[in-house]
Structure 1
Amino acid sequence: METPPPGMFKVNVDGATSGDGNPSSIRVIIRDNRGETITALCMSLNGEYPSLETEVIALEKGFILAKQMELQQIMLETNALTVVQSLLAGDKGGDLGHLLQGISDTLNSFSSWQIKHLKRDCNRVAHELAQLAKCTGIKQVWKGVSPPTVQHLIQLEKA
């Protein structure tokens, strides 16, 4: 895992959609430059959404959680390449244009931000938490501790 520079926090997000009518779910984990978990969230959404929309919602929840934690410098990471490209290009059209506009506006309220695409296998912690929320339908927030179900993955990333 690439750690952010001191003072910056890494916000990994992921969404999961089943395609079988069950609700979509999202996951967020925020870590500091030592790889320590600051906070994490997994939650089931109120319905089944297309995968791209689910990823945008996960991204939005990620920076909202960073704002709630009063973080000013963030590095967002997602495996949703289309979302990353759209935000970096300033694309506000299409079905998700209004959501992308809102994300862009809010990101500009941080003193510093970056967004980066990760391959799914590099975003395993986020992916596993999204799967947990999808399977259990729970909403849970952890502050200052790693979610127990992914502690082994977090330790592997630190090694």
Structure 2
Amino acid sequence: MSEKGQQEDVLHALYSCPKLEELWSLNPLWNHSSLKQTTSFLDLIGNIFTENRDPTFFPIVWALWKRSNDLRIGKACGTLGQLFSQAKDRLREFAMHNTTMTSAMQRTLAQWTPPDNEHYKINFDGALFQADNCAGIGVVIRNGCGQVMASLSQQIPLPLTVIEVEALVARRALILVQEISFTRVVLEGDSQTLITALKTGSHTLAHFGHIAQDIRYLASSFSDVSYTHVRRQCNTVAHSLARRAILSPFLQVWMEDVPLELVDVLQADFQSLD
């Protein structure tokens, strides 16, 4: 799929090549305009994970890779249009054979859980407002009883990538905790790429590597810090705070509370504890 003899990278081969635009446009979550800020395949995967986009994306990527290899050896291949339906069929077949396990996992992961009584849990999330060239960050800190210690909503300039937004929020979350003087914390977000990088100390993701280093430096000042990944359903308060940032260009912090319009979202987490 390379053009004019240019060396082809993974992002071009599996996603950004103009010949694949018809395939990726079959789902608006994946089309080239929706993910136009993606600059590497690793960033693309991080974007997909961060936004919890349609999981059919991954079997399609695998099928594209296999199709490319088959074409190189002259093996007969189906059309690009067939890959989409084939990927959905594979995902449906997998789900049928794993219904029990999937249901159990969803029950476990689809609700917010409090930390133990010796720690405070910090949930964080980001939101993109590309039309306004800005992003929103949201942070909420709660104790072992689920009570809010502080919450934050802030509008920031639009970073280059989604993963940078998540990293900036995590850094701001730890700064907020420092200001409140909590020392034993759990940092929890729905970006698996970022949480994995923080757990492993990876420096391979150049787009946010310097921010991850800042986060680890801040974390070194606490007596105990751990990182956990959850699905978006378990991170709704932080997500709502991030979305709220579009309403004001100023930093807003609420001590032992959340904005009035988010009380129902907070109460939903309390109900999940019953």
- How far 1:144 sits from its partner (Å)? 1.6
Rounded to whole Å, the distance in 2 between the matches of 1:52 and 1:101 is 14
- Paired residues for 1:61-72 under 5 Å: 61-72=172-183
**Which one of the candidate residues 10, 20, 38 is aligned to 2:121?**
10
SS, match of residue 141 in structure 1: strand
Q: Whose strand fraction is larger, Structure 1's or Structure 2's?
A: 1
TM-score by length of 1: 0.94
For each residue in 1:116-151, what CA deviation from the matched residue of structure 2 results, as whole angstroms up to 9, or x when unmatched? 111112111111111110244342100022221211
Between the two proteins, the alignment pairs up a number of residues equal to 158
1:72-151 equivalences under 5 Å are: 72-93=183-204, 94-151=206-263
CA shift digits 1:29-76 (9 cap, x unpaired):
00111111100110000x211211110000001011011000000011
CA–CA distance in structure 2, aligned partners of residues 96 and 51 of structure 1: 10
Structure 1: 5+ residue stretches without partners: none
Q: Which runs of 4+ in 1 moved over 2 A?
A: 18-22, 134-139
Matching residue's letter, 1:96: F
Instruction: Give the drift of 1:25.
Output: 1.0
Bigger CA radius of gyration: 2
SS for the counterpart of 2:170 is helix
Mapped to 2, the partners of 1:138 and 1:148 lie a distance apart of 17
Distance of 2:132 and 2:114 partners within structure 1: 37
- The structural deviation recorded for 1:19 is 2.7
Percent identical: 28
SS of equivalent residue, structure 2 residue 124: strand
Cα distance between partner residues in 1 of 2:153 and 2:228: 21
**Structure 1 residue 27 and structure 2 residue 126: aligned?**
no
Instruction: Give unpaired runs (5+ residues) of structure 2.
Output: 1-111
1:88-126 C-alpha deviation (Å, 9 max, x unpaired) = 111123222111111112112111111111111211111
Q: Contact between 1:16 and 1:134, CA under 8 Å: does it hold in 2?
A: no
TM-score by length of 2: 0.56
- Of Structure 1 and Structure 2, the greater helix share is in 2
Residue 198 of structure 2 aligns to a residue whose secondary structure is helix
CA distance in 2, matches of 1:92, 1:103: 12
Find 1:152's aligned residue among 258, 264, 274.
Answer: 264
Q: Is the 8 A contact 1:73 1:111 kept in 2?
A: yes
